[in-house]
Amino acid sequence: MTSVLFVCLGNICRSPLAEGVFRQTVEQTGHSDRVLIDSAGTGNWHRGNPPDPRSVSVAAANGIDISGLKARQVEKNDFDRFDLILAMDRDNLAFLRRMGAAEQTSRIRLFLQGPERDVPDPYYGGKDGFQNVYELVKRGCLDLLDDLKLA
Ligand code: 4NP
């Protein structure tokens, strides 16, 4: 069993989309029983709220329902519960590394591994930003599947 936590700032735009896309990606391999997937935010402003309608919409356009998710903030015991904690950008990574200072840094890393390392915060932008997030997240999820040897 592997457990993966996706983390962004508000837990309403990027990380719930990553949670939904990765869940679908893993389901398509038939290995859902081998992976626990969740998401959280480093901030707490949106605690208890559903994902941003723009994330719900881009997910739905790709056959994924994330409307039932609820935002929560990262907590200390997440560092015990999850094997891998994946930050959507470098600011959130820095926050997680400070919070989990005693943890192995290899378990806390950026979600994207390629040259385009940050999934940009789409909150104050338009719809295009959410499509871009979806595309980055999709690619990152396929790479993650390879990394976890679930493909
Ligand atoms: P997220 O996007 O970190 O991808 O969920 C944001 C959501 C809300 C805010 C910022 C980013 N905010 O400032 O409220």
- How far is it, in rounded angstroms, from Cα 15 to Cα 58? 13
Residue nearest to atom 6 of ligand 1 (CA): 10
Q: Determine which helix (DSSP H) or strand (DSSP E) holds 90, and give its type and residue range.
A: helix 90-99
Select from 13, 52, 95 the residue to mutate for testing ligand 1; criterion: most ligand atoms less than 8 Å from CB.
13
Q: What is the pTM of this model?
A: 0.97
For CA atoms 35, 150, 108, 46, the dihedral sign is negative
pLDDT digits (tens, 9 = 90+) for 15-68: 999 999 999 999 999 999 999 999 999 999 999 999 999 999 999 999 999 999
Q: What are the catalytic residues?
A: 8, 14, 121
Q: What is the mean pLDDT of residues 76-84?
A: 95
pLDDT for 21: 98
Question: Domain coordinates of the chain in residue numbers?
Answer: 2-147
Q: Which is the closest atom of ligand 1 to the Cα of 11?
A: 5
**What's the sign of the alpha-carbon dihedral 130, 136, 142, 147?**
negative
Which CATH number does 2-147 carry? 3.40.50.2300
The finding on whether 121 has its CB within 6 A of some atom of ligand 1 is yes
Could you tell me if the CB of 14 is within 6 A of ligand 1?
A: yes
Q: Which of left, alpha, beta for 104 (phi over 0: left; psi -120 to 50: alpha)?
A: beta
Mean pLDDT, the chain, integer: 95
CA atoms within 13 A on the CB side of 57: 9
- Determine which residue's CA is closest to atom 8 belonging to ligand 1: 10
